[in-house]
Chains A and B, each alone.
Chain A
């Protein structure tokens, strides 16, 4: 099993040969070959093949297929209930190969020596973090509780406070097993991530992970051989869910940090190394170990370090900075890295209404590329203009590229106006088009019978444009 083929090299034929090949259609597809192709593309679940799962004769084949199709990086769940977070489960190294799943989970730290009020506030703030980006809410995912006291009693109290105040999954951090145990006894069902097993404490940590059925971080800073030996040992010991930490270094060792993460991910994805096929954790919080005169410098360092870890394979991050200017670029970067690179981000075409438009209100037009649409929408909203916005289906392309690529044509605009019955909404026949579609103006006028006004090139100037040019 050690030299298994990479996910990308898996051929539908190999998968097909293990299937029942009866073309029973129980999976909803016409034949087993179609099912095999979808399996290889990760577009369908294996268990939809009912005979495979249910009939004894296929048990071996099922096991084999499961081995072939399981992600090279194991998926690990932290926490329980609705807010539980899945990490890892990676199929590939590069986002252009297949969409990456399970976006990097971001945890914010608290300590067992924080005044109660501060701890609760920090936990609430973490859970309350929210920013709407392209119509999606960006949020933080976990709370990391560090035992700075090394005192089991204090840790117990802190765990209690945290679980009373949030549903977010926990990372319990201490190198002392008795401290973690105290925490686990307080929240036995929380299914936290335990940080961390080292070469010195691994047996006790393994016992805790097994007893409380928790995933466990393996910490071997800058020593992948030790890391690998420890995962081997812990797996033999009976721990199932591991998370790997080869250390996050900033000023001295940043090059090691990136090289280690890259080696770990490549060993899993390209070499099929099961011992390293686990989620990776980064701790940008180590930026705070370095002295600086003002906290903003640590925040700045932590922010850029975290961004590099998001790009380079980290499945989970522990951070200290809770500042908006640190977390906003990181949550947006994470969203960017974890979108499907094959799929243009699009919104539904149609007529959107802003404010309370009347039959004399302006009619504007844009494309259905999500970024374009939300930018225009937010400009209209912030200006408080009453109007209609016709969103033309350009297959998710922006204005200039859809004009160039002939996805935005006069035909299409005329057709959309007609289909959406825009003439029933207003008395006038004036359409404001984006400045970047100016060259379509004559043709749109001709085909639709609407008078075309060429609007600004940037939607931020829409309010000014309307003020000057409308009525």
Chain B
């Protein structure tokens, strides 16, 4: 057996050789010393509906029934296969993000999500209407980041405009999420006017559709969105997010007046999600609402996040109109999992790989629940998610049997 140190050395060498493809962005292994990050794991804590606990079912013993002796077939008995297609009364609404010049904005192009008629990737029923979008996180102030993420954005963490440009130019972001965390009264308490200025600058620096994130304080977010919506009028920005504890009427009216889209955020409770959407309908058309039912990290509540989304999507397709909205996921929450950012014993590998695969698996699990827009962070996770989406949508190619029949004898 190789010594642990040797193995790590080898891994390092291997990474440093990486081609400029996927792993170029994972290859900065020079900085591996432990640096704790300060992600708020608490934000990922989840609300569970306690309910009756069922005992595990037991396997039923087979009754003994005499089976008549059959003649053994000598050739394959051909039978038919009918794909188990179902039809659904409901359909997810299409939502357009970002407005081009002809639509009253200045974006280079817009992104449309939603429109599904079948559960996620039931491709034997219907193709996916629009590929899910991925929007990259940009923060308006220096925040604690996991090492594996920080190494890719180190030079720009104090400059949201440069950060947005890096995300678009280097990482190929089709959308940007500008998180105005500095507006938090407990942090810098940046004024709405200043925050709006940052939004304006980012809008000028990049021409992709924009998501604007608040700080999570319902009163402050409202004030910030009020200003932001004005300076970004006509750009069809996604305002992230409107919650049940905000003044929904005023918030929705801002979005409506300036032609933006509302991200309706609730925490893992479909009744709350329906309630919020119902309230928004009074002021906003359906095509201007996206839902976020909360994303928890792999290992830290992903199961609940997954099931809430899967249920939302299935109910929507079965005709529940209050849930017929594209789903958004704050996939970056994956980094709240300790296994993603912490230095662990060597057998668990370098966190420069563990972190991004954590975000990737969190994203792909929720992709299969039906998510339409992912807010993500690590370039490798983003690249992989994009490739998978392409393989399942526009770039889908049939699998040829002869490609895989040799796997048993393959030499690795």
Chain A residues proximal to chain B, CB less than 8 Å: 41-47, 53, 59, 62-63, 66, 69-70, 75, 89, 91, 94-96, 98-99, 101, 111, 113, 121, 133, 146-148, 150, 173-175, 195, 199, 202-203, 221-230, 232-233, 236-238, 247-249, 251-259, 262-263, 266-267, 270-271, 273, 275, 283, 285-286, 288-289, 293-297, 300, 303-304, 307-308, 311-312, 320, 323-326, 328-330, 332-333, 335-337, 339-344, 369, 371-372, 375, 395-401, 404-405, 407, 435-436, 457-460
A-B contact pairs, 25 of them (CB 8 A): A45-B60, A95-B307, A203-B74, A221-B404, A224-B81, A225-B81, A227-B81, A233-B76, A253-B403, A255-B123, A255-B391, A263-B124, A288-B407, A293-B17, A293-B18, A294-B23, A297-B22, A300-B22, A324-B344, A325-B353, A333-B361, A342-B53, A343-B51, A396-B50, A399-B45
Q: Which of A53, A258, A396 has the largest number of chain B CB atoms within 10 A? A: A258
Known: A296-B18, A296-B26, A304-B388. 8 other contacts (CB 8 A): A44-B58, A66-B60, A133-B299, A255-B391, A312-B368, A333-B365, A344-B50, A436-B45
Q: Could you say which of B65, B72, B78, B123 contacts A237, with CB atoms under 8 Å apart?
A: B72
Smallest Cβ distance from A257 to chain B, in angstroms?
7
Q: Could you say which of A47, A251, A311, A325 contacts B357, with CB atoms under 8 Å apart?
A: A325
Closest 10 CB pairs of A and B: A253-B399, A42-B57, A325-B349, A45-B58, A249-B399, A398-B45, A401-B47, A221-B401, A324-B348, A336-B303
In the bound complex, residues from chain B placing their C-beta under 8 Å from that of A195 are: 408
In the bound complex, residues from chain A placing their C-beta under 8 Å from that of B42 are: 399-400, 435-436, 457-458
In the bound complex, residues from chain B placing their C-beta under 8 Å from that of A203 are: 74
Q: Could you say which of A44, A330, A343, A372 contacts B53, with CB atoms under 8 Å apart?
A: A343
Query: How far, in whole Å, are A323 and B7 apart by their CA atoms in the complex?
Result: 11
Query: How far, in whole Å, are A223 and B103 apart by their CA atoms in the complex?
Result: 46
Q: Could you say which of B17, B50, B73 contacts A233, with CB atoms under 8 Å apart?
A: B73
Contact A89 B56 (CB under 8 A): no
The answer to whether residues A147 and B73 also contact, given A263-B84, A336-B299 and a CB cut-off of 8 A, is: no
Answer yes or no: B354 CB below 8 A from chain A CBs: yes
Answer yes or no: B339 CB below 8 A from chain A CBs: yes
The answer to whether residues A397 and B399 also contact, given A95-B307, A324-B349 and a CB cut-off of 8 A, is: no
Q: Could you say which of B26, B123, B407 contacts A286, with CB atoms under 8 Å apart?
A: B407
Interface residues of B in 293-311 (CB under 8 A from A): 298-304, 306-307, 310-311
Q: Could you say which of B45, B50, B73 contacts A372, with CB atoms under 8 Å apart?
A: B45
Answer yes or no: B360 CB below 8 A from chain A CBs: yes
Contact B84 A266 (CB under 8 A): yes
Query: How far, in whole Å, are A357 and B60 apart by their CA atoms in the complex?
Result: 50
Answer yes or no: B88 CB below 8 A from chain A CBs: no
Interface residues of B in 13-45 (CB under 8 A from A): 14-15, 17-19, 21-23, 26, 36, 38, 40-42, 45
Q: What string of 1s and 0s marks CB contacts (under 8 Å) between B387-411 and chain A?
A: 0100110001111110111111111
Smallest Cβ distance from A38 to chain B, in angstroms?
9
Main secondary structure of the interface of B (DSSP, over half): loop
Q: Which of A121, A304, A342 has the largest number of chain B CB atoms within 10 A? A: A304
Contact A289 B406 (CB under 8 A): yes
The answer to whether residues A249 and B403 also contact, given A255-B392, A458-B40 and a CB cut-off of 8 A, is: yes
Contact A262 B121 (CB under 8 A): yes
In the bound complex, residues from chain A placing their C-beta under 8 Å from that of B48 are: 344, 369, 396-397, 401
Q: Which residue on B lies nearest to A399, using beta carbons?
A: B45
Query: How far, in whole Å, are A421 and B281 apart by their CA atoms in the complex?
Result: 53
Answer yes or no: B187 CB below 8 A from chain A CBs: no
Smallest Cβ distance from A134 to chain B, in angstroms?
9
Contact B400 A222 (CB under 8 A): yes
The answer to whether residues A308 and B368 also contact, given A47-B60, A254-B391 and a CB cut-off of 8 A, is: yes
In the bound complex, residues from chain B placing their C-beta under 8 Å from that of A395 are: 50
Contact A328 B354 (CB under 8 A): yes
Interface residues of B in 99-158 (CB under 8 A from A): 121-124
The answer to whether residues A296 and B403 also contact, given A47-B60, A62-B63, A436-B42 and a CB cut-off of 8 A, is: no
Q: Could you say which of A175, A229, A233, A341 contacts B303, with CB atoms under 8 Å apart?
A: A341
Q: Which of A257, A311, A340 has the largest number of chain B CB atoms within 10 A? A: A311
The answer to whether residues A221 and B73 also contact, given A89-B59, A94-B310, A96-B311 and a CB cut-off of 8 A, is: no
The answer to whether residues A458 and B365 also contact, given A89-B59, A267-B84 and a CB cut-off of 8 A, is: no
Q: Which residue on A lies nearest to B360, using beta carbons?
A: A304
Contact A228 B353 (CB under 8 A): no
In the bound complex, residues from chain A placing their C-beta under 8 Å from that of B60 are: 45-47, 66, 69-70
In the bound complex, residues from chain B placing their C-beta under 8 Å from that of A372 are: 45
In the bound complex, residues from chain B placing their C-beta under 8 Å from that of A259 are: 121-124
Contact B40 A175 (CB under 8 A): no
Contact B339 A329 (CB under 8 A): yes
Smallest Cβ distance from A237 to chain B, in angstroms?
5
Smallest Cβ distance from B333 to chain A, in angstroms?
14
Smallest Cβ distance from A7 to chain B, in angstroms?
10
Contact A233 B77 (CB under 8 A): yes
